[in-house]
Structure 1
Amino acid sequence: MSVQQGDRRRQVELIVREVDRLPTLSPIAARLFEAANVDDIDVNEVIKLIEMDPAMSATILRLCRSVEHGLGDKITTVRRAVLMLGLETVRSIALSVEVLDLLRSSPDQATTDQREGFDEEGFWRFAVATASACDLIAKASPALGLHPGVAFLAGLLHGLGRLVLHLVLPHAYDRALVAAEQRRSASAAVERAVLGMDHHTAGRRLADRWGLPDGVRDVIWFHGQPAEGLPESVDRSLIMVVTLARALCARHHLGWSGDYCPPPAIEPLARQVGLDGAHVDKLVPTLVDAVAERCQILGLGQPTAPDLLLGAIMEANRRLGALNAALEREARLSRRREQVCEAIRLFHERWRGGEPFSRTLECVAESFLRLLGPGFCGMLWRLDDEREWRVVQFNEDGRATRAAAIDLPPTAKGLTEGFSEAGGVSLATMALLPDLSDFLVDAPDLTRIRLMPVLIEEACAVALLHDADTRSWHELAPIRAVWASAIRTAEAWEQSRLLEDELAASNRALVEMQAELAERESLARLGEMTAGAAHEMNNPLAVIKGRAQLLESRLRDSELASSVASLVSAADHLSELITELN
């Protein structure tokens, strides 16, 4: 398992532990949902439990007095309210109140002007809007067989996982949402990449822990998926109603949906629940009124229908402004990419390969200055760990004007690791390098000089010294790769030249050694021949010398004595020569 996978697994385990620590439902809600259907519930028991909860009692009575039911002050007791609304509606209200009480921030904690990350007020408004839309769609399409109260509850809790992630990992989840907004995409994929878990899974985990109805749990888990991709075991009608209601509310900006991609088309989703898109669109005025009323009933402020419409317009304008800003960024990036591509073309025109290392550095400096504009430009480089660091300064044409070798202190050995930082290394880091700082005295403003990596490898480290604006440095990644490749090629070319010189010198030394060896072998053979000849000549010479000495002793008084003496002397001289040959 890789380090990244291990970190993600630990983060998922953390989310699961934190979800298990969230508050549990009250006895009222637990009793309402422990039965599979309302027929298994004792109405009198439910009435007594609700009467023990003032907040829930007040909410149910407010709902009875709403415009939709039109009963005014006639309903004054919980019993009459439960009998009039029905247990299915009471179940929906009970869990709605429970979730709001358990998971909603207090007014002094909630943020009211949050533009990045999780928008809690917008989240609850969107949840109520989706629930209200589900209620209207269920009533408009009775063939589906969905109780409006069940649809309302499913719509209200469909995004429960987003709230879970916000409560468990608020800062990390905000980062994921900001990334999704920058990419203009749905948040689930970004959540999985950043957190290791998306809001669907987190919501299902809490739904299992709370014992929510299977239909609600499946909506939390599968909403937004196409009908053909849903498992056979789930309530497809309920999931598709919630998906349609969510798309309708997102299209009309009724709250904060948490996704930043365009909402799906209404018409195909409407057909899947037996409606047409035009009929669904006609529900919007009624929907806005219902959202305003139910926000008031559930204690989510006092918004009016005009307030909601104005908020929707403002949100649409904000989204449009964000889209325009993103398009401007894309246009600027496109222009920068064109400049980088042109700079790459010009660089290859100037540098054609097979250039010396110093010339390659000049080509890189020229390309850099042409791309980012005139300014101070230098390079710090080292070809391997054994060689000293060198620093060179270039003029505005990219020609080297000054170069020096510097000895970095032992404390600067980790400098190459600093090169890998996205923002480079500032002059504050170089304060440890007095020799380098002295070399930069020609720079107009030392505080602006930065070290930016070009090639950082074990065998070669090269960094630019410059005072250009580094905010767009990451946009130069393609040409930085070209520069790095050219430097790597030049370094290899230099090494090959050195190897060629070493090989030529080795060849010359080998030829000289071979000639010397041949001469020594010839002398050895000559010595062997000479020793053999001397041995062969010694035998007859000994005879000649012996006979000459004998004649000399016999002819001492003869006229031939001097000639014999010369003969003996010559034999002695020849014997000495033969001895020297040995």
Structure 2
Amino acid sequence: MPSENHAVARQVELILRRLDSLSTLPEVAAGFLPHLAEGRVNAPALSEIIEADPALTAQILSLAQERGLRFEADPPSVAEAVAKLPDAVVRDAVLSVKVFQVFDADYNPERQRPLSRKQLALHALAVACAAGHIAEFVLPEPQRPLAFSAGLLCDIGKLALDEVMPKSLAKIVGEARQRNLSLSAVARQQLGIDHVVVAKRLAEKWALPEDLVLAVWLHNSDAEVLAADLPRTRIALVVHLASLLARQCGIGDGGDADPVPDPRAAARHLGLGDDQLDAVRNALPERVEAKSRMLGLDLPGAMGVYCDRIATTAADLSRQHGTLTQQSHSFAADAGQLAFLREFVLSVRPAMSAIEVAASFARAFRRHYQADLVGLYLQIAPNDLFLDWVAVDAAGTLHTALVQRPADAPAVPPALQRDFAIVDAAQAVPWLLEQAGLELAEARMAPLHIEGRAIGAIVFQDRIPVDQPEQTASLKIAAAVAAQIIGMKFAMQKQARLAERFAELLNQLRDTQTEMAAVDAFSGIAEMAAGAAHELNNPLAVISGRAQLLLETEADEDRKQMLRQIQERTEDISRTLEDLMTFARPNPPQAGTIGLRALCDQAVEQLRRQESRDFVEVTFEDIEGLGDVHVDAGQIATALAHVLANALQSYKGGSGPITIRAAAHQPTDAAAFVVADQGCGMTPETQSRAFDPFFSDCPAGRRRGMGLAHARRLIRLNRGTIALDSQPDQGTRVTITLPRT
């Protein structure tokens, strides 16, 4: 499963590489077209629209960074970028943004979408308005516009997935709503990557300002992590709080279905008081409504209006076509090796990935050597079976793919591992030509070397006299330059992944520290209580014995009843103390190998005995296929019996049904299964305390509340895990993993 998720994540990244910009809504496009009429750009009005639309904001900021625009303010703002860029550049940038699905062949405006693009745009606008308002209280004035832009762009990962993988996003949204989870959690399970990382990589690809990239990436992190002593995370914390307020106010739809955390904790980390927080919350609907009207999101018949206005704009642009044609020119394709290398090196930008650098090399190579087709494939790690492939055909069209080499075939032929040569590609890498899906007749290949190791190869259709020594030497220099730059990009990508992993580990560390603190605190109390319990047993035995003696000699019925009650209560206390001692000082596990189905059967039989029932309705699904586990059978059977008893109690007197089934996602070194019931379920408050010792939502005196606490204690002793998911009136699902070895 991890390797499958890795391959899926690689495919997602491959698709996203093709995304040069986001799409805007037809309502927005209908609004900005009049400001571009007759060759004039109404910069103030256009700037206001651009600042409130994610696609236009990203386009303008990316263009400003690409052109090296110098900003008076730090960090840069959209308004200053629009003001400083030439009108023609702003116009071309705005017109180059695609309008969402308006001309798609399969577009149907009546079709219901799980996540409406307009509602997603409203949600992004709400986060931006809230972030801008919060910034007025907690950020210096130069940083406030960036907070608004960061809020607006916080969901560009969702927008991107909606454009390139709409069916996958719809499936993720549906599952998130069904399971009451965040989109990030479900996306990581299904795609191996979530929309936050997608957003970060797109922001890096488009060379957005670094502070903006950081805020877009980290805004979904825990508030305590953002508030820690980490540099430049304050804007991310502002966006985090703004997102909570937008969800709390129910403005738009970001697709997340998990419970909305209390925003006051994040507000405290920013130094925002309750009155200020209420002011932001109360003003948010009106601010969003004003921006929405300005964008024209409530424009009726937006498609028709947009088409009418684009026709007018097209007529205006056609009048300018002659002038624009005179300003354009093409560069000579064959300008010598120095021109080729200069073209390639200058095309490389800091935000480019290794495969994007390879694409730039392929374009320059095809023009210089007049090849019909040029492609490069790259191997990130020496043993990686999956290789990135990029090619430029004779028409200049870019093709990308993820190809898989055979397990018994090296990525680069042994003869080319260390020595440079040009060989026949059909004989050297036939598996590549089959998977590339392109006509590669008479193709040749040459290796890419870095530090004595081949990291891939160039594949090209042979139209140059490669038998001449000077041509081979020329190709060797070109390949060496490409390999060095691609190698540096590999190192940068590795550092970026390590940074992402570090951020993830910070969140995990916070969760682990919280849990360990709670466990240590209770363990200390439990040890003390267990010692006290040991000392209390003797006095309890004396009280019970004396009550029995008095009962045998007492003639008065009322006093006999009181004596019986004394005996019963002392027995209850004794059983409670016994539970406490068992929880505090369990026996060390005596692990052995046992089939999971046999273990479940033991637990069901134990449940029947302890509940004094002849029949309990338990069904099994695919449990036999999970095989053996390595645990203390007695302890785990007891733990499972406690879980089953909890499920049985949810029916309020019934006998089931209870289902024990294999989990959908299986770890590599453990067996995962689910115990599910269709009972009364739990409220979020009950669920949060379900594993607390002595907690029970049953009427007083019915249960001691040690069942699930004892189950978790025994499962953890056996190196397993247990997690609970429940909704009122929708039953409960307990997921358990047990080690195989």
TM-score (norm 1): 0.41
Higher strand share: 2
- Tell which structure's C-alpha radius of gyration is larger: 1
Task: Name whichever structure is richer in helix by fraction.
Answer: 1
